[in-house]
Structure formats: C-alpha cells, structure tokens
Chains A and B, each alone.
Chain A
C-alpha cells in the first residue's frame, strides 16, 4: 500500500508539486493521470526514493520513504521514466544484476528470472545482448529486472510509452495479472484511454495538485459528465496537454 500525504517539491523557481495526497491500496491499479508537466514523474521519483520532498510525507506499506530508504527500496519494483539497459549484457544478465543487488542469489534468483521470462514471453531474447532490442523487447527486460525480487508494490512511469498495439495489450494483461496477485500497482500516464481501460482508481494531477480522484464512476458522478474524457477535461479545467496524447 502506498500512502502519500501533502507532498511539496520545487526545482529552483518551478513548483513541481504543491500538495499531492492520495492512497493506492493493495490489489488495486491506481492511475496517476495528468498532462505532461503535471508532476507525475516527480511524485513517482519521490516514492522510489530518488528525490526528497520539500515537505509532506509518504510511506510504502506504512514504512516512511525518507527515514527508511533501503527498507522501502526492497518493497518496491519501479519502472522509471528512464529505462536504459546495459547493451553489452544479455537480457538475462541485465535482470540478474538487479536481482543480485536485491540480495537474491543462486536457485531462488534463477527461478524468479525464469518465471518472469515465461510470463513476459521473452524466451527468444533472454540470452541475446540487449543492444539493438526493439522498444517492446527493451521494456520487457526493464519490467522483468524491476520485478525480479517479487515486490509487493509496483510503480510504473508511463509503461506503454512508445509501444505498439500488441505490446500495449500484453502490458495491460500483465499489469492486471499483478493486481490479481494482490499487489499494489501505481502507474502514471498522460493517455486518458490507457488509464480508463486499466485503472480501478484514478488520481488526476494538474500543475502539481490533485484536482480529482476516485473510481471512474465516482469521477463521472462528481464532474457530471458521461464519459471519462470529458470528466478529465472538466477536472483540469482545460484541454491543454491532452492533444499530445
């Protein structure tokens, strides 16, 4: 479970977050929806401990992310905005490296990798060096290495960016599967349809603030609209940022 309480963060004169609060429960897919620059990546970076908030608190499974950084890192699997692989290592070596950094060794590690390799259908590429992989292949490796330690909380920053239709569908299936395993899934997107298709709970961010949140039905009810797209536009007060989706 992820709890976020009144996060503030600024970079120089830019106020990236101006009081973001939400809860992402276990067994649910929570979507962070917002136009580019709304603060999605900054929120996620704070949650996976790369940035410190100026004020406010956040916790993962009730463990404070600032005071217990390493504990939190053990309990999350994150697919950040940057998903670079090591081109001179094979797909399996890339995944194994992160598993080892999590302290996994030997049989347990190899079994975890085997499970992810078959789940993500990447048997054909696992022993190839990742140099020259397609974006679909790259994201599979990036996800596998993020989840190799079987974390209960999963944070995905725009996981379907740049994927073709087939890869996007496979990704959605995979994310639902994680939810069904009882994990807490938090993912960000600026694509409305993406969030609508997948999320049990939606948090709409705009200019560093949570402007609306709830289940898709609750959002429709609170904005008085009949479809999510209109609800989204109503929530952020303009169509800005949507057109690029």
Chain B
C-alpha cells in the first residue's frame, strides 16, 4: 500500500510541476476566478443605476394630453412631484416604443363631467410588460387613486355624509421588501459563479493529463511502467485538485473584495457584505464538488482523442449545474432535503443561504456533501475502469 502511495505521489508531483509550467492552464484558472466577481460588479454598476434609483424622491415627467381640461387634477399632480410635459404626437406608439413610461389623456368632456359630478374619464396609457416603467406607472396610478378618494370624500361631505361609510375596509399594505432583498437578485448569481470556478479551476490539468497525454503519444510509454492504472488515475485526478482549490480560494477572495471594498452603496443604496466565516463555509461546501468535477472531466476527456476535442466537451460541463442555478436567480427555492440530494444544486442553495446570512441546517450541508462525494467516488471508480481497458490507448473512435 505504501508503495502505491509513493507511486501516486510520483504521478501527482510530476503532473503538478508539468502543469505549473503550462501558461495555458494558469491563465485559464486565473481568468475563471475573476470572471464571476467582474460580471457581478458590472451588473451592479449598470443595472443598479436603472432599477434601484429611488423613484419616490425624484420628480418625474408626465406627458399629459388635455391638461387644460383638468386644472384641479394637474395642480394636484404638480403638488406631488409630477412635472407635466408636452405629450408625444402618437402616445400609444411612444409608450410601446418605450420613449415614455406613461401618458395621461383627458378628453374635452372631462371638465363638464367633473363639474356635474359624473365619472370623468382619465385614460392611463402604459405598457405592463415593461419592467423598468412599472415604478413610475405605479406612482402615477397611486396619485390618481388618492385624488379620486379625496374628491369623493369632499363630495360626500358636501351632501352631509361621513366619507367613512364608503370605506368598509381600511387596507394597510406592509411591504417587507427592502432594497437589500431586491439587490439579492445579483447575489443569487454568485453560487453559480462559484460552481463554474469549481469546474474550470482544474479543467486544463485534467485535459492535459488525459487527452493531452494521449495526443503527445506519451500515454503508451507511461502505461508500460509498473504502475497500476488506479494509481495513475488517482495521481492525475489529485494533481488537478490543488489547481481547483487554489482557484476557488482566489475566487472567494475576489468576491470578498468586490463586496466589501467597492462602494456599492452608491449604486444600490446599501453596502453588500460577506463575512469571513461565511466564506469559509462556502469554501468547505464547494470542496466535494471539486472531486466530482474532476472525475466527470476525466471520464469525458478519456473518451476523446485530442486536446481540442476534450476541451470542447469538457467545456460544456459547467453549463449543466448552471441550469438550476439560473432558475435560482429568479425563483428562490427553499433549501429542502430533496434538493440536497442533487449534486451541485444543493451546494448552490447552501451557498445562497450563507451569502444571505441565513442559518444553514448542518444536516443539509452534511447530506449534500455526502451525496456529492459518494457520486464522485463512483465516477472515479468508473474512470479507473476506463483506464483499465485496452482501448484507452487509442481513444474512442
């Protein structure tokens, strides 16, 4: 057994040294660590400005058709931070194109209806499918409803009726959404970036030591040495782990710097922060995925005949765990036991919880790590079986 460990170490040391001298491996590893934090910062800088601008405080421009017909309404709106502006020629078209968020149109009959106490028409032209316009639309509609309520109350009082009788419900809206929870949409992408780094950190080492070994025609002489195939496979797999682990570490550092050092407050109204303990847990939770990723990559790379071919297929791998991750960015799924049974998905949920500062159920973390590690061991076993076949010499045709 100790002779086996010695041989595994020989393979491990050689592959680590060999790949440390490979600029391609190192650059790809370094790039993959920075991509996640860079994209996140970029999104925050670009989207933070448009989505999270505080609409309540600013004055908005409201195109108004027939303002002369409704002086009382116009005055009310202007008192509440609305600037009435000239309406575009074709208001429907303008709204549909997104030139303006909302247009109010008041017909000539408004004035007469209003004075006579009949319902006076106010047309609100808006596009409910345009997310960025919704805040302004909502604000204008609220103002219209408030105006409606105030006039109704005045009319009732003029007739000697307490306005309370037409308000059977006193609706109170308690919106618990904070700017934080809205901005967490960004943070929801972080688990996937971490998984991507896990898959990319050791990728080139795996390809180089498997498909690369065959492409250089060095596999045949290597296999003639008195080394069991399982020792070779373990040595080569293990050689990719320091690269992947170091990449993951750098990536978490980059996230920490991005969130804790950049003045994100200027962009999304508050400072994101991740504490070191959470990062440590994220690191530990991601470790089993490194074993899984390397075994999966080795199996695929062993089937291919050239470095390029391996690169193509292995390159697709990180997209698979991305699928649930992308869903996660839009529909928050609660951590539940069944989710923990899905390797890489469970981890993404756990990482998400850690980032939000929520309490992680230890059993969930344990089950997720256990299932992922078990699958990794099965895949490593499969990779060894592949290497024990004669066909490993030639690659699959």
The answer to whether B224 touches A49 (Cβ under 8 A) is yes
- A162 contacts B by Cβ under 8 Å: no
Q: Please, what's the 1-or-0 string for A48-59, where 1 marks a CB less than 8 Å from any CB in chain B?
A: 111110000000
Q: Please, what's the 1-or-0 string for A88-99, where 1 marks a CB less than 8 Å from any CB in chain B?
A: 110001000110
| Distance between Cα atoms of A88 and B17 in the complex (Å) | 9
The answer to whether B218 touches A48 (Cβ under 8 A) is no
- B220 contacts A by Cβ under 8 Å: yes
Given known contacts A100-B10, A103-B3, is B226 in contact with A85 (CB within 8 Å)? no
- Give the total of A residues in contact with B, Cβ under 8 Å: 32
- A86 contacts B by Cβ under 8 Å: yes
| Distance between Cα atoms of A87 and B219 in the complex (Å) | 14
Interface residue tally of chain B, by bracket? 20 to 34
Chain B: CB-nearest residue to A80: B220
- B228 contacts A by Cβ under 8 Å: yes
| Distance between Cα atoms of A79 and B218 in the complex (Å) | 11
> Which segment, of A15-23, A30-38, A69-77, A230-238, faces chain B?
A69-77
Number of A-B contacts (CB under 8 A): 76
- B86 contacts A by Cβ under 8 Å: no
Q: Which residues of A contact B21 (CB under 8 A)?
A: 88-89
| Distance between Cα atoms of A84 and B216 in the complex (Å) | 5
The answer to whether B228 touches A103 (Cβ under 8 A) is no
The answer to whether B14 touches A70 (Cβ under 8 A) is no
Min Cβ gap B28→A in Å is 16
The answer to whether A73 touches B228 (Cβ under 8 A) is no
The answer to whether B220 touches A101 (Cβ under 8 A) is no
Q: Which of B212-239 contact A (CB under 8 A)?
A: 213, 216-228
Q: Which of B11-31 contact A (CB under 8 A)?
A: 11, 14, 17-18, 21-22
- A115 contacts B by Cβ under 8 Å: no
Min Cβ gap A153→B in Å is 12
| Distance between Cα atoms of A100 and B219 in the complex (Å) | 16
The answer to whether B221 touches A51 (Cβ under 8 A) is no
Given known contacts A73-B225, A80-B221, is B17 in contact with A101 (CB within 8 Å)? no
The answer to whether A142 touches B221 (Cβ under 8 A) is yes
Min Cβ gap B70→A in Å is 79
The answer to whether B226 touches A74 (Cβ under 8 A) is yes
The answer to whether B216 touches A81 (Cβ under 8 A) is no
- B6 contacts A by Cβ under 8 Å: yes
The answer to whether B390 touches A50 (Cβ under 8 A) is yes
| Distance between Cα atoms of A198 and B377 in the complex (Å) | 51
Which of B22, B222, B225 is A102 in contact with, Cβ under 8 Å?
Answer: B225
Q: Please, what's the 1-or-0 string for A130-146, where 1 marks a CB less than 8 Å from any CB in chain B?
A: 00000000000010011
List 6 additional A-B contacts (Cβ < 8 Å) besides A50-B390, A81-B220, A103-B7. A50-B224, A80-B224, A85-B218, A97-B14, A101-B10, A142-B221
Which residues of A line the B interface, CB within 8 A? 48-52, 70-71, 73-74, 76, 78-89, 93, 97-98, 100-103, 142, 145-146
Q: Which 10 A-B pairs have the closest CB atoms?
A: A84-B217, A84-B218, A82-B217, A73-B226, A84-B216, A82-B220, A101-B225, A88-B21, A100-B10, A80-B220
Would you mind naming 29 contact pairs between A and B with Cβ atoms under 8 Å apart?
A50-B220, A50-B224, A50-B390, A50-B393, A51-B390, A52-B390, A70-B226, A71-B226, A73-B224, A73-B225, A74-B226, A80-B220, A82-B217, A82-B218, A82-B221, A83-B217, A84-B213, A84-B219, A84-B221, A85-B216, A86-B218, A87-B216, A88-B18, A89-B18, A97-B10, A98-B225, A101-B10, A102-B226, A145-B221
